[in-house]
């Protein structure tokens, strides 16, 4: 069997959603379709979360109304009257659930409130798409992935309960595949044992596809994007990117860890562990070869570039001039771990510890007071983290030109530079 993942760009409007039908029909094996929310929907849902948690309940309801109309408009543009009516019947209870989640949103439990609201984007998109497949006479089964992917309660970055989820995947999804139906389900989301919705981290639909592929022993996973294949850098940030025809699991997981956006950081592990190849292909031209990611690749690589913007460089310095050795490091790591803050780059000196992290106000508001109990804390905001694998002196000079370097780490294959986001004054 195969797993196809379609992101928001591939279903951004009725025309693009309809154009996916031949891709699905051409699959020669049983197929699981994992789908993201419609383009920009997650951002719109985040705006609803923020309004609701800030006490602006009426604003949240207005935003919900706009989002509902956008989805109904897409359904109307895609479906005939009969199946449009079916889509409305599917969607309205979920929009009611969204209204209720916004009303009960609690800023004291922001992450949990976030997940109850944001999880619905994928439910909306797959409900519309399922109606399109039914209208097109393609045998299919819509499955709420929250019945399958069971997790802990780490909201916004939930950890999958592998044994429970695998049993449910084989029971619920496997049965539909045996009956010859295309399974349509959601990426990015799951549920706790007590029924709360969770998300698996931003861009987690790739991860969902990999999880299901491993649990169902798929032959391959294909991620369908609006690019010809995997590029050596984000084409939205760099104008002269190079397509990569083949790349190893190891290289991709390195770049994912460093912040490259094309593959979710957690996606590669279940595929590598089960030796399942991952294809990145273009839904605009399915005949293109795309990129294959597999166990061993002998080709030489161009410089592989990841740029993480909106970073903060935190420095914690001991107040009594004690060294940053095992005791202090253990204490510092415990603080970051307890607050569930991922460190993107670490460096320590004799009496100071430096960490580059994502600039999230909710996390910083807890981190800085926690560190300040025992350390003097300073920070640099508005910084970027540049990572280059297979770097050359020329590419380093080009990408750091005109910027102030705040921290630099270098190994044989990888260089990381924390820089001011604004060019240095001449």
Question: 4-13 pLDDT, tens per residue?
Answer: 999 999 999 9
Here the tokens at position 280 are 């990145």
Same fold, 2-225 and 304-423: no
pLDDT at 426: 34
What gap in Å lies between CA 254 and CA 133, rounded to an integer? Answer: 37
Tokens 């309205």, located at residue: 92
Return the CATH superfamily for domain 304-423: VC0802-like (3.30.2130.10)
Q: How far is CA 20 from CA 7, 127, 376, in A?
A: 11, 15, 55
Inform me whether the pLDDT recorded for 393 exceeds 60: yes
CA-closest candidate to residue 232, choices 273, 211, 206, 261: 261
Do 7 and 41 meet the contact criterion of CB atoms below 8 Å apart?
no
- H-assigned helices in 110-178: 110-118, 120-135, 162-168, 174-178
Q: How confident is the model at residue 423 (pLDDT cuts 50, 70, 90)?
A: low
The average confidence (pLDDT) of the chain is: 95
CA-closest candidate to residue 20, choices 6, 40, 32: 6
2-225: CATH topology is: Carbamate kinase (3.40.1160)
Domain map of the chain by residue range? 2-225, 304-423
Q: What is the pLDDT of residues 171-190, one digit of tens each?
A: 999 999 999 999 999 999 99
Sequential DSSP letters for 43-57: HHHHHHHHHHHTT-H
Q: What is the 3-state secondary structure (H, E, C) of 342-411?
A: CEEEEEECCCEEEEEEECCHHHHHHHHHHHHCCEEEEEEEEEEEEEEECCCHHHHHHHHCCEEEEEEEEC
pLDDT at 100: 98
pLDDT at 186: 98
Do 25 and 203 meet the contact criterion of CB atoms below 8 Å apart?
no
Q: Is 188 helix (H, G, I), strand (E, B) or coil?
A: coil
Q: What is the pLDDT of residues 250-263, one digit of tens each?
A: 999 888 888 887 78
Here the tokens at position 93 are 């209870």
Percent of the chain with pLDDT over 90: 90
Under DSSP, the state recorded for 9 is G
Do 113 and 106 meet the contact criterion of CB atoms below 8 Å apart?
yes
């Amino acid at each position: 069997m195969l797993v196809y993942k379609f992101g928001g760009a591939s279903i951004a409007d009725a025309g693009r959603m309809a154009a996916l039908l031949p891709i699905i029909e051409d699959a020669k094996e049983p197929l699981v379709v994992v789908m993201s929310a419609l383009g920009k929907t997650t951002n719109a849902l985040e705006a609803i979360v923020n309004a609701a948690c800030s006490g602006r309940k009426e604003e949240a309801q207005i935003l919900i109304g706009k989002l509902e109309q956008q989805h109904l408009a897409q359904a109307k543009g895609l479906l005939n009257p009969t199946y449009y009516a079916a889509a409305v019947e599917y969607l309205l209870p979920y929009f009611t659930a969204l209204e209720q989640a916004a009303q009960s949103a609690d800023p004291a439990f922001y992450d949990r409130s976030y997940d109850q609201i944001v999880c619905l984007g994928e439910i909306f998109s797959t409900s519309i798409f399922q109606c399109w497949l039914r209208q097109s006479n393609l045998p299919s089964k819509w499955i709420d992935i929250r019945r399958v992917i069971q997790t802990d309660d780490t909201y916004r970055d939930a950890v999958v309960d592998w044994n429970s989820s695998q049993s449910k995947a084989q029971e619920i999804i496997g049965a539909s595949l045996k009956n010859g139906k295309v399974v349509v389900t959601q990426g990015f989301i799951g549920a706790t044992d007590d029924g709360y919705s969770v998300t698996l981290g931003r861009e987690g639909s790739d991860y969902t596809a990999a999880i299901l592929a491993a649990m169902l022993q798929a032959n391959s996973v294909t991620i369908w994007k609006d690019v010809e294949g995997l590029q050596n850098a984000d084409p939205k940030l760099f104008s002269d990117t190079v397509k990569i025809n083949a790349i190893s699991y190891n290289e991709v997981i390195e770049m994912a860890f460093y912040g490259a956006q094309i593959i979710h950081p957690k996606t590669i592990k279940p595929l590598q562990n089960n030796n399942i190849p991952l294809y990145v292909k273009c839904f605009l031209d399915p005949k293109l070869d795309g990129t294959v990611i597999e166990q061993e690749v002998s080709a030489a690589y161009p410089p592989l570039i990841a740029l993480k913007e909106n970073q903060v460089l935190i420095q914690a310095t001991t107040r009594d001039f004690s060294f940053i050795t095992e005791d202090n490091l253990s204490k510092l790591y415990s603080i970051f771990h307890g607050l569930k803050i991922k460190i993107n780059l670490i460096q320590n000196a004799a009496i100071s510890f430096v960490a580059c992290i994502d600039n999230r106000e909710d996390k910083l508001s807890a981190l800085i007071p926690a560190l300040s109990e025992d350390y003097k804390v300073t920070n640099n905001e508005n910084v970027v983290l540049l990572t280059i694998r297979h770097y050359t002196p020329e590419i380093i000079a080009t990408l750091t030109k005109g910027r102030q370097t705040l921290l630099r780490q270098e190994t044989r294959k990888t260089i990381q530079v924390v820089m001011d986001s604004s060019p240095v004054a001449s």
